Amino acid sequence: MIRSQFQYSKKVLKHFRNPHNLGKIKDPSGAGEVGNMACGDVMKLYIKVKSNVITEVKFETYGCAAAIATSSVITDLVKGKSIKEAIKMTNKEVIDSLDGLPPIKIHCSLLSIDALSEAIYDYLVKENLEIPKEVVLRHQRLKVHSS
């Protein structure tokens, strides 16, 4: 759902005021960090993986209410999912879970998906596992934009 220019849903405000899984995982299986230079948002996502399932996920985010809410909700969405399932997550799922975002804040949902993808990429590299093409392509795109 697209909301008016700056109208946040009750779910966005709930996640912003009381974010889920806030913090850092000591010795994570994978970590991903992304940012948006235009708005100043920076997201770091940590995952713990056991038997190919994300068993723990936490985040540290510096940014607006939408950045914090999307970081919080992505942790809820991926916990308990297999790596294969998590790779298929979309920003639409993040937006829908928050009952929508204002158009100017859609980029925050993309950042949360990118942070997850980078954490998965880091995990797969560390474990010397095959990295799916879509994860490699997203990683390459993110590295080009952050250079």
The active-site residue, picked from 9, 19, 39, 93, is: 39
The yes-or-no verdict on residue 47 having pLDDT over 80 is yes
Q: In this structure, is residue 36 part of a structural domain? A: yes
In this prediction, residue 85 carries a pLDDT of 98
Q: In this structure, is residue 32 part of a structural domain? A: yes
The pTM (predicted TM-score) of the whole model is 0.92
- 39 as an active site residue: the answer is yes
The yes-or-no verdict on residue 146 having pLDDT over 80 is no
CATH of the domain at 20: 3.90.1010.10
9: which 2 tokens? 């849903």
Please state whether beta strands 30-36 and 41-50 pair in parallel, antiparallel, or not at all (unpaired).
Answer: antiparallel
In terms of residue numbers, what domain contains 137? 10-146
The yes-or-no verdict on residue 39 having pLDDT over 90 is no
Give all strands of the β-sheet with 30-36 in edge-to-edge order.
30-36, 41-50, 53-62
Please give the tally of structural domains in the chain: 1
More confident residue, 1 or 93: 93
> How many CA atoms lie less than 13 Å away from 44 in the CB half-sphere?
8
- 64 as an active site residue: the answer is no
What is the spatial distance between Cα 131 and Cα 147, in angstroms, rounded to a whole number? 22
| Amino acid present at 111 | L
Residue-level length of the chain: 147
Model confidence over 105-121: pLDDT tens digits? 999 999 999 999 999 99
Residues 28 and 127: beta-carbon distance below 8 Å: no
Q: In this structure, is residue 3 part of a structural domain? A: no
The active-site residue, picked from 89, 108, 119, 124, is: 108
In this prediction, residue 34 carries a pLDDT of 95
